[in-house]
Amino acid sequence: MELLPLRMEHCDALIRAVLDGELWKLWFTSVPSPDQMKSWIETALREQEQKQSLPFIVRRKADRKIIGSTRYMNIEKTDRRLEIGSTWYSKEFQKTFVNTECKLLLLEHAFENLNCIAVEFRTHRLNQNSRRAIERLGAVLDGILRNHRTMPNGTLRDTAVYSIISNEWPAIKSHLLFKLVSSFQT
């Protein structure tokens, strides 16, 4: 897998990716629908210009197929922390090695190049698949922000907040590398 900067030219490939599983129909996510993809990319690129986020596409190296997106967001340079979020993958690639590999790349860069002291993950309290994926990374639940956000359908979202801190990173990195090697040996 490789992470590349998001560009408008990725729109059609991201639409194909999001159609696999109709991910936007899950009420507890904020994955863009095919009709919303262009404006979703425009918003992500505007946030990047404003130094609020750094969006990526997720691409399989072997055939250069774009399979999803992720980003750094809520970047706090002074406090040396950021959030990894807005992550989604085509259904075909969910519950595979893809999330582990992508998060390893993002975490490694955050801790080893950006010198972060904490990396945060947030998801809807009821999004059990996302919560399990975050927990499999080794992130610790910091707490639940109740009535934290209003969802597009008008419901209130309780947000589960997880983090990995810098002194945990070496052990978590070893764990993720082991998981990746193991996933290719089975």
Would you kindly state where each structural domain of the chain is located, as residue ranges?
Answer: 2-185
Structure tokens at 22: 């109709």
Answer CATH for 2-185 from 3.40.50.300, 3.40.630.30, 3.40.50.1970, 2.60.40.10: 3.40.630.30
pLDDT digits (tens, 9 = 90+) for 113-146: 999 999 999 999 998 988 998 999 999 999 999 9
Mean pLDDT of the chain: 91
Check residue 23 and give its pLDDT. Answer: 65
Burial 104-136 (b: 16+ CB within 10 A, else e): bbbbeebbeeeebebbbbbbbbebeebbebbee
Check residue 155 and give its pLDDT. Answer: 86
CB atoms within 10 A of CB 77: 11
Which residues face 56 on adjacent strands?
5, 70
Check residue 34 and give its pLDDT. Answer: 86
- Residue with the bigger pLDDT between 94 and 113: it is 113
pLDDT digits (tens, 9 = 90+) for 47-77: 999 999 999 999 999 999 999 999 999 999 9
Q: How sure is the predictor about 84, in pLDDT bands with cuts at 50, 70 and 90?
A: very high
Strand order of the β-sheet with 53-59 is 2-5, 53-59, 66-76, 81-89, 118-124, 156-165, 140-150
